[in-house]
Structure 1
Amino acid sequence: MQDSRPVEHVELNTPELLLRPWREEDAADVLAALRDPETAQWNPSAPGLDLAGARAWTRARADWSAGTHASFAVTDPATGVLTGSVSLHRIHGDEGSIGYWTVPSARGRGVATAAVRLVTGWAFGSLGLHRIELCHAVANVASCRVADRAGYPWEGTLRESHRYGDGRRHDEHLHARLATDE
């Protein structure tokens, strides 16, 4: 992928998931999700997030024109209900990073793993990326399971590399996939 080339909006789907660009009307669901204590801990948003802030959040994630990210609402294809989020971000050259969260009712059902796999395949095939990194707090054991199940091998520990929702810097595990991985 060329630097600074806009990423075109796409929808990705499986029989169980529809990944689509964010819409402003998703704001109320986003607000509820980001207020969930577990989501807020591992995916901190602006303090005091309100509905107007959630609308701004969805607008920013829906704008892929800079070519540096592609963010998807993860939904149930039959009902349209929001089940999570997955974002390919820090796209630069042929590399990027991936992040995700799920709403409480979707946890433990493989939603995050399936969404990460789907976006990873798209990023390697359609965007021509070669390497995608996935980082999560060491204490976030569920995210480590997602990384493993989505085929992202563990590469190491980044010491106090990110400030999370509790305001503290946490060690993170670094996982990564290459386009050449099976």
Structure 2
Amino acid sequence: MEISAPGLLLRPWRATDAPEVMLALREAAIAQWNPLPGVVDLEAARAWVRRRADWSSLEHVSLAIANPTTDALLGSLSLHQICGENAAIGYWTVEQARGRGVASRAVTAMTDWAFQFLRLHRIELCHAVANAASCRVAEKAGYRFEGVLRESHRYGDGQRHDEHIHGRLATDA
């Protein structure tokens, strides 16, 4: 399965993505806002890619965000906690992709796909209150701000952070 978006290709993870994933997950901005298990070497990156590529549980759909021309890795996008008509969405982008609308276009494309093909009704997007860039992504992708979850998630810095919760419904305009 692949999803196209303007200037992006959302595609399944491949074993050959592991070196780029290893470099991305070492980046401070990604590590700060993602409570990822330590991807310290290529074997750990390969295991990370294998987990993302395995959709057999039907509880998540994870895709690589890639440049459609060069296939360079731009980020990661996951629809997770899929249960009935509800799910959550999460993402990260590499430094070169930030500030160019990559994340908001990817989130919008995945959301539209999930409403159409998975028949979801509600998708939530949570991010640390201090992560202003993710708040902008949520707003650009049509996710409405719904409130603050106090100390709801332990992030990569090991600390619990308050989170904004945004939601988008299949019935939203």
Scaled by the length of structure 1, the TM-score of the pair is 0.93
Q: Does 1:106 align with 2:97?
A: yes
Give the 3-state SS of the residue equivalent to 1:144 in structure 2.
Answer: helix
> What is the count of residue pairs matched by the alignment?
173
Query: Which segments of 5 or more consecutive residues in structure 2 lack a partner in the other structure?
Result: none
Q: Output the CA distance in 2 between the equivalents of 1:127 and 1:67.
A: 11
Contact 1:15–1:77 (CA under 8 A) maintained in structure 2: no
Give the 3-state SS of the residue equivalent to 2:96 in structure 1.
Answer: helix
Q: Output the CA distance in 2 between the equivalents of 1:20 and 1:150.
A: 19
Q: Output the CA distance in 1 between the equivalents of 2:39 and 2:122.
A: 35
Q: Output the CA distance in 1 between the equivalents of 2:31 and 2:22.
A: 11
Q: Does 1:137 align with 2:121?
A: no
Q: CA deviation at 1:43?
A: 1.1
Q: Output the CA distance in 2 between the equivalents of 1:48 and 1:25.
A: 16
Q: Does 1:29 align with 2:20?
A: yes
Contact 2:22–2:40 (CA under 8 A) maintained in structure 1: yes
* Other-structure match for 2:152: 161
Task: Write out per-residue CA displacement over residues 57-85 of structure 1, whole angstroms, 9 at most, x where no aligned residue.
Answer: 00000011111000010000000000011
Contact 2:6–2:105 (CA under 8 A) maintained in structure 1: no
Task: Write out per-residue CA displacement over residues 2-43 of structure 1, whole angstroms, 9 at most, x where no aligned residue.
Answer: xxxxxxxx1001240000011111001001000000000001
Give the 3-state SS of the residue equivalent to 2:44 in structure 1.
Answer: helix
Correspondence for 1:122 among 104, 109, 113: 113
Q: Output the CA distance in 2 between the equivalents of 1:113 and 1:159.
A: 25
C-alpha RMSD of the superposition = 0.8
Q: CA deviation at 1:46?
A: 1.5
Query: Which segments of 5 or more consecutive residues in structure 1 lack a partner in the other structure?
Result: 1-9
Q: CA deviation at 1:49?
A: 2.4
Scaled by the length of structure 2, the TM-score of the pair is 0.98
Q: CA deviation at 1:45?
A: 1.7
Identity %: 63
Q: Are residues 143 and 53 of structure 1, via their aligned partners in 2, closer, same or farther at CA, if it must alter by over 3 Å?
A: same
Q: Are residues 118 and 61 of structure 1, via their aligned partners in 2, closer, same or farther at CA, if it must alter by over 3 Å?
A: same
Q: Does 1:18 align with 2:6?
A: no
Q: CA deviation at 1:47?
A: 2.8
Misfit runs of 4+, over 2 Å: none
